[in-house]
Amino acid sequence: MDIDFITQILFAAIKTGTPLLFIALGEVICEKSGVLNLGQEGMMLMGAVVGFLAAYTTGSAGLGIFGAIFMGMIMSLIFAFLVLHLGANQVATGLALTIFGTGLSAFVGADVVGQTVQGFQPIIIPLLSDIPLLGKILFTHDLLVYVSFAMAGSVAYVANRTRTGLVLKAVGENPHAANAIGIKVLRVRYCAIMFGGAMAGLSGAYMSLVYTPMWIENMSSGRGWIALALVVFASWRIGNIMLGAYLFGLASIMHLVLQGMGWSISPNLLAMLPYVATVLVMVIISADKFKEKLLAPRSLGKPFDPRQMA
Amino acid sequence: MSQVSRDVIVIETPNLTRKESAPPRLTLKNITKEYPGCLANDNISMSLENGEIHALLGENGAGKSTLVKAIYGVVAPNAGELIWEGSSVKISNPANARDLGIGMVFQHFSLFETLSVSQNIELCLSKEQLASIPDLSQRISQLSEQYGLNVDPDKYVHSLSIGERQRVEIMRCLVQSVKLLILDEPTSVLTPQEVAGLFVVLKQLSKEGCSILFISHKLHEVTEICQSATILRAGKVVDTCNPKEETPASLAKMMVGDLAEQDAGYTKKTGDKVCLEVINLSLSSAQPFGTQLKNIQFDLVAGEILGIAGVAGNGQEELMSAISGEDSRAAPDMIKLNQVPIGDLGAGKRRQLGMAYVPEERLGRGAVPDMSLSENTLLTHSKGFIHKGIVDWKGLKSYTSQLIDSFKVKCHGEFSEAQSLSGGNLQKFIMGREIGQSPKVLICAHPTWGVDVGAALAIHQALLKLRDEGAAILLVSEDIDELFLLADRMAAVCDGFLSPVIRCEDTNIDQIGQWMAGTFISETDTPSKEASA
């Protein structure tokens, strides 16, 4: 294995991990506000199909991205209304959203299965891409990968350094107390859920416009679920989420590489590798239960009704 | 609308040297709040002067909490008017209230445990307020010194004691310079020394012109610091008075009507037969932020009540879990019930041996929230009402109804869900259920916490009757007055150490208060002296 080959593997690992990073960043904000949205997979698929259709009919990948983000937000708005306004159970509603999104995306995209669109061209950043090794791995990607870097940085900054992050954490820990000091709990949760939806849509667009620029039914292949696990195992920390996402990317690539090298293991077992590896490593990272208790949003999954004060 | 006519102000406060022209800080006019099936506040009118410490008294369910929540904008009253410094206002949410200068310290603290003290305080401030304070940490330290509050801005809230948390709550109000501070049972979780410290702060605030609305069940505190009082019963104002001219007994009478006979004291007893022995019990905590139990040793004697005082979080919870069997990690010989080693037995086995347990947390551990009262009764009375695996529902229901009657539990019936009961009523139910098993040993946490005067009296008498029938009772409470009233012998816990056990006649509140702060730790030459600091 020469150095070029390794560089290529790592480059591909980042590319493969990017959709997972997007969706996990959305989910972590949502969960920090105390809402567990299991509808990630459905939102992502709807984003993917709408993004693809928009790009396919207009010929503009940019419009596709906006369409996907918009669709993700609409889907999350449905969820938010049911959960926040009507006080529906978050787990059941989230599952329903996933089933709904999976089915609807297959229906909407039935006519364009297998069609392709013009994806994004890589943007090679001058100077930075000349850094030996790292330059190749990090700075020769398409626009959305750079966006994902920027998003991870800004989400981490907002969550840890700003008043907005403080408010978010407060709402997720104790919504009643937050309400008592005048924070508009439902508004914060609406925003967090919508952000989650937007990121899920974007992640879907990455799948159908960049990663494999075509629409295939159920093309997210469980990334929404892995993102949910990733957020928990990463202890709601952005750094760990990035690590986990790229690890997933790496394992996904390795399963192709190993097949290519002629390993005589069933490809089905190898296809399992990214999921198993990601979960395993993340479990090991999050083994410190003590810290876990401090980082987890205490009111995760619990509905809040401002009219009902304890 | 802005001018208040004098005749609507129900309460006159003659002892205050107030200028006739200055409008009162807050006037309530005919506040009414109705919940489905319950009129919580019925035409309440009262007024609060500038710099006045005003007590709001009443039994559980009299409508005190609803009233202060209406003032703080947490609940919206159905009718009535709030007049703030002479002009009519509408307070629709807590943010409104805080903008006016109303601060509130809740009974159950509303702090965020995973944030630091200064982050907690920062969250409470609006952007403008935050901009006007150049250095928040410095401002906290400065206020901390000014009022002797002793709050470290960089500490995380989960690492603070209950008393410290309360000071953070008060600090949160002070930073935004409040004009009206509402305190909902602020002293129920403090040591006597901490209470004294709190009163110094309150008096200083009052002198600076801040009005204080003070809810407490401890009437001697009300007579000590309050300048006026409004007494509520069943949602109505029934009386007003100047507490300085009243005694705790006369206040209690106003609260409950003529029914109350506040007992001055009960007879103390001495038993002879040791029932439960705790021998050198040392146990690390099963919870993060828990307290480690260190060499705990005491006997429970049949026919005696042993009271354990202490500020919450000093190992009471861990000690009770170890004795009740919720935590069965102790060595068998560390706890003996009538000579039988039970340290490693589960809670069910210990109950079979004659132990009963009233945990601190009523909803969730004392009773299952979603289950009816009869089902909750069945949980600890399974022997009596299950025959060959079949539940005797008829017998269970009539027994539960009887229990509800004899302990005057206010509820719709034995089919009511446990969570539908108010805290005090649920406490009465759980106490009744446990006492009803005529246990040999009763472990009981905070028997009357949040319970009104009338119900507390009933619970006291039930406990004493159980004692007189020969049961050994362990009372763990933060209410030191109640312990002195009920217990035959006393001890205190601090930082997981248990003080020596002493007969009530041979000690006084001061000594126990000092023990609660840990002074005995150096007396009994235990290794970790720093704990007393």
Cβ density class B394-428: b for 16+ within 10 Å, e for less: eebbebbeebbeebebebeebebbbeebbebbbbb
Tens digit of each residue's pLDDT (9 = 90 or more) over A107-139: 999 999 888 888 788 888 888 888 888 888 888
Query: CB distance from A164 to chain B under 8 Å?
Result: no
Q: Which of B68, B91, B110, B169 to mutate to test the interface with A (most CBs of A within 10 A)?
A: B110
Q: For chain B, what's the residue count? A: 533
Q: Which of B458, B366, B473 is nearest to B407 (CA)?
A: B458
Alpha-carbon span B8 to B14, nearest angstrom: 16
Residues in chain A within 8 Å Cβ distance of B122: 163, 166
Residue B470 belongs to what domain range?
Answer: 274-372+433-532
CATH number of the domain enclosing B458: 3.40.50.300
Alpha-carbon span B54 to B215, nearest angstrom: 9
3-state SS assignment for residue B301: strand
Instruction: Give me the interface pTM, i.e. the ipTM.
Output: 0.75
Residue B381 in this model has a pLDDT that exceeds 90: no
Return phi, psi of residue A122, to 5°: -65, 145
Query: CB distance from A181 to chain B under 8 Å?
Result: yes
What are the mean pLDDT values of chain A's consecutive 10-residue runs (310 residues total)? Answer: 85 93 96 94 96 93 94 96 92 95 94 86 84 85 92 94 91 87 89 96 94 90 89 88 91 84 79 82 72 75 67
State whether B98 and A181 contact (CB < 8 Å). Answer: yes
Please tell me which residue of chain B has the smallest CA distance to A176. Answer: B110
State whether B108 and A293 contact (CB < 8 Å). Answer: no
State whether A295 and B122 contact (CB < 8 Å). Answer: no
State whether A298 and B114 contact (CB < 8 Å). Answer: yes
Domain count, chain B: 1
Residues in chain A within 8 Å Cβ distance of B105: none
Strands B236-241 and B340-341: unpaired
User: What angle, 0 to 180 degrees and rounded to 10, lies between the N-to-C axes of helices B453-468 and B423-435?
Assistant: 10
Return phi, psi of residue B297, to 5°: -145, 120
pLDDT at B109: 66
State the alpha helices, DSSP H only, in B73-232: 94-100, 117-124, 127-132, 136-146, 162-175, 192-207, 219-225
Q: Judge whether A240 and A289 are in contact, CB under 8 Å.
A: no
3-state SS assignment for residue A176: helix
The one-letter amino acid at B294: K
State whether B94 and A179 contact (CB < 8 Å). Answer: yes
Tens digit of each residue's pLDDT (9 = 90 or more) over B365-375: 888 888 899 99
Q: Judge whether B421 and B376 are in contact, CB under 8 Å.
A: no
Tens digit of each residue's pLDDT (9 = 90 or more) over A74-101: 999 999 999 998 989 999 999 999 999 9
Query: CB distance from A290 to chain B under 8 Å?
Result: yes
Element (H, E) at A145: helix A143-161
- Tell me, which fold does domain A3-295 have in CATH? ABC transporter involved in vitamin B12 uptake, BtuC (1.10.3470)
Residue B130 in this model has a pLDDT that exceeds 90: no
Please tell me which residue of chain A has the smallest CA distance to B130. Answer: A163
Please tell me which residue of chain A has the smallest CA distance to B125. Answer: A181
Q: Give the distance from residue A279's alpha carbon to the nearest chain B alpha carbon, in angstroms.
A: 25
Compute the average pLDDT of residues B264-277: 82
Q: Which of B350, B294, B344 is nearest to B318 (CA)?
A: B294
Residue B350 lies in a domain: yes
Tens digit of each residue's pLDDT (9 = 90 or more) over B474-483: 999 877 778 8
Residue B308 lies in a domain: yes
Residue B280 lies in a domain: yes
pLDDT at B114: 84
One DSSP character per residue, B267-286 reads: ------SEEEEEEEEEE--S
Residues in chain A within 8 Å Cβ distance of B113: 173-174, 298
Element (H, E) at A74: helix A61-80
Q: Give the distance from residue A241's alpha carbon to the nearest chain B alpha carbon, in angstroms.
A: 20
Compute the average pLDDT of residues B247-275: 71
Interface of B with A (CB under 8 A): 69, 72, 74-75, 93-96, 98, 104, 106, 108-115, 119, 122-124, 127, 130, 158, 172, 288
CA distances from B390 to A104, B348, B383, B395 (A): 50, 19, 11, 12
pTM of the full structure: 0.69
Residue B299 lies in a domain: yes
